[in-house]
A and B are shown apart, each in its own frame.
Chain A
């Protein structure tokens, strides 16, 4: 029972939205943003939009759906990210330009075809190398006592830091 122009306008608006299929629908927008701060505990960051209608900061931009394991791409502060904004769910990063950390926490991870076998376990490898090096040093000590003596320079035990690339850990 509308009796004002405002009511009629509103009802017309609803009717048009229904015809267009946008009534009660979520509204999505995309904005390129600069990352201002990152909170790994909540898996969210604060961003400032570059191409949006305003430069009001966007709080709570998710870089993971919920706090969990899985794939976590932690963006670098100051880098550019593309953020999807919705009226119904918290905003989220859909593309990143620069990352500080990448976490892949899953029972199985495969790079490329996977036909080169599994990745080396550095702690076990260092242990094995040290055992071989110790054996060789023992042989070297014994070889120095035989005639003619065989002089072998002693092997320095391999340290984990000698062979480990700490930028990629498992």
Chain B
């Protein structure tokens, strides 16, 4: 019987290994590519480990563009958008999940429409709007649209998770004299931690990777985000694989760190406020 357990566990580790390999292999390949010379990149047959490793690509990443600035811009815009979006979405999701009110269905359909509209269709009126508000080339000019277009996704996820939470907990608190809003913070939020992390990561990554809006609403390097910035390394015809691989590798590190850190922070922050018993 113990043997069977061990086999199962070994099998589990094999599966975990497969997941990690499947997820990371292309990134590892990108990492290797970033150390190759231009010549070796196009060599056939394919080489994996670079034969003549060089850091020239990484040097170019920084000399060609203010890479650090791009990362900073992305970080500011993305974190602000995510935090604010989650906050606003939590409030709305609670209403959708718990309260009955007129127009609930219509609003949900409206959210779906916002989620579905292709950005290319609204980019011109959006540009005009942001320009008229004087928000072009500014952090706010990016944050506000990002919050807006992430809200549907965040609300859907959070609504689903809020619904999972049993009513009894809330009712107990309400009987104890808590207001609705209080129960939201003290009871529901901690239990919705997995949902909040999920929604937070999704909004974060969506905002980080967003290209069209960032490209259109900013034209100066001081607000340019990393995704648009990486496109700067391309030329009209040329696609410098080595430099772009280096840029992608460098851009991935902060994201990985933020996700790891974010997970831990959110869990800790929320469970700290949980009502005991």
A and B co-occur in one complex: no
Question: Could you list which residues of chain B lie within 8 angstroms of chain A, going by C-beta atoms?
Answer: none
Question: Could you list which residues of chain A lie within 8 angstroms of chain B, going by C-beta atoms?
Answer: none
